[in-house]
Amino acid sequence: MTGPARDLYENVLPVLQYIPQAALEALLPSKERLIGDLRDSNLYLYLRAIRDDQVAGWSLPVASLQYNFTKEPLELRIFLALAQMVDGRVRFYGFRFEAPEGSGDGRHDFYHVQQIRSFTRDGKLLNPPGTALAVAPEKQPSFPLKAECPVSLAIAFFISLYGMPFLTELSKTGEVPEKYLVKFRRIVDR
C-alpha cells in the first residue's frame, strides 16, 4: 500500500494490532479446534483497503472472528471494524456478521449483519464516547444475508466489502466448492 491507504493503515495499527500469519493459522477453526475467539488475542486481521469516492476516501477493513461449532445452533460471528480518517482522526464503523442465533424470538434467527459499538469483549468502544458512531444501535436493525452455512456467511461478508467482483476472484482460485458460489451467482444472473 502507498499514499492515503498506507497512511490510514499506519493510523489504525496502533489501535488494533495486526495478527501475523502463523498466529492467525493457530486460531482459525479446524477439525481439532471447534471453539475460538480471535478477539482474545487482541490481534486483528487486516484486509485489502477500499477506495470509495472523493468524499469518503479510503476505508480499511479490520476483522476478527468468534466461533463455536459444538453448539446447536452453531455460533459464528465475523466482526468488522471499517476504519476511516474523519477530521484527521481514525473512526470506525462497526458490524457483526452472524449465523442464526436460535433464541426463539425470531429477531436474529437468520444469517444477518448488524452494527456494533465495541470490537472487544471488554467493551472498549470502537469510537470515543461523545462521538456520533459511539452510539450506533447494536440490536436492531439486523439485515438478512443470502447465506445458509458458515462458508456462505464468509462469502457474503467479502461480497459486502468488495462487491460481486470478489466472487469472480474467488472462483478463479478453485479453493471454494462451486456449490457455495452458485447461490451468489444467481443474484447477478437475475
**104 versus 28: which is more confidently predicted?**
28
Which pLDDT score is estimated for 190? 43
For residue range 125-172, list pLDDT tens digits in order.
Answer: 776 677 766 667 667 778 888 888 888 888 889 888 888 778 777 777
Which H or E run contains 19?
Answer: none
CA dihedral 63, 115, 58, 61 (to 10 degrees): 10
Q: How much is the pLDDT for 65?
A: 92
Q: 12-16, 171-175, 182-186: which range is least confident on average?
A: 182-186
Distance CA 97, CA 143 (A): 9
Locus of grid cell 493457530: 26
Please give the pLDDT value at position 63: 93
- At 107 the pLDDT is 65
Q: What is the pTM of this model?
A: 0.84
The pLDDT assigned to 9 comes to 87
pLDDT at 189: 47
Rounded distance between C-alpha atoms, residue 36 and residue 58, angstroms? 31
DSSP 84-113: EEETTEEEEEEEEEE-----SSSSS-SSEE
Q: Where are the domains of the chain?
A: 3-145, 148-190
Residue 177 has φ and ψ, to the nearest 5°, of: -55, 140
What does the pLDDT look like over 31-80, one tens digit per residue?
999 999 888 888 899 998 888 777 677 899 999 999 999 988 888 999 99
Looking up cell 489501535 gives 15
Total number of residues shown for the chain: 190
What is the band of 115 on the pLDDT scale with cuts at 50, 70, 90? confident
Q: What is the pLDDT of residues 77-99, one digit of tens each?
A: 999 999 888 778 888 888 999 99
d(CA 4, CA 58): 7
